[in-house]
């Protein structure tokens, strides 16, 4: 439920080596991250530039885009590091997909979930520090 995503497994037709990959696609997880981001960023903006109702909509949209961009980059990096699912990393034989589908009702995060969360928090620490600096310069 909290952590759901797509899961796929492949097996090498030459040496039998197996690969398993999962990618988080949980909307609930993304909404929670975006909500946390709104809760952190909106008060800072309100303090700096005065309260505006549209902060929630614009920051919320930006947060969701941020989550999806970070996730896309992470998946891209992972596939560059681990290689594609089509070629065996051990003998470069052809991989045959064995299982492919969605998993759901999972309460434990995958490594990708954790990395996504860590980068998301780090980006927000950066945003807050940047806003603090901006407010210091502007008075």
Binding site for Zn ion (CB under 5 A): 12, 14-15, 17, 88, 90-91, 93
Half-sphere exposure of 77 (CA within 13 A, CB side): 9
Distances (CA, A) of 129 to 28, 70, 124: 27, 20, 8
- Shortest gap between Cβ of 89 and Zn ion (angstroms)? 8
Distance of alpha carbon 63 from alpha carbon 31, whole angstroms: 9
Q: Give how far the C-alpha of residue 8 lies from the chain's centroid of Cα atoms, to the nearest Å.
A: 18
Distance of alpha carbon 27 from alpha carbon 55, whole angstroms: 21
- Shortest gap between Cβ of 69 and Zn ion (angstroms)? 34
- Shortest gap between Cβ of 14 and Zn ion (angstroms)? 5
Report the interhelical angle of 111-138 vs 27-49 (nearest 10°).
10
- Shortest gap between Cβ of 79 and Zn ion (angstroms)? 18
Instruction: Show the tokens assigned to 101.
Output: 């589908």
């Amino acid at each position: 439920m909290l952590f759901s995503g797509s899961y796929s497994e492949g097996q090498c037709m030459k040496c039998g080596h197996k690969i398993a990959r999962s990618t988080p696609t949980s909307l609930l997880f993304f909404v929670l991250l975006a909500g946390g981001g709104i809760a952190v960023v909106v008060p800072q903006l309100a303090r700096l530039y005065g309260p505006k109702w549209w902060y929630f909509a614009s920051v919320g949209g930006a947060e969701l885009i941020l989550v999806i961009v970070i996730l896309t980059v992470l998946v891209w990096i992972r596939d560059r590091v681990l290689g594609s699912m089509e070629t065996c990393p051990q003998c470069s034989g052809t991989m045959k997909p064995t299982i492919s589908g969605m998993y759901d009702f999972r309460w434990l995060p995958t490594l990708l979930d954790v990395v996504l969360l860590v980068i998301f928090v780090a980006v927000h620490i950066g945003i807050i520090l940047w806003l603090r600096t901006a407010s210091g310069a502007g008075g």
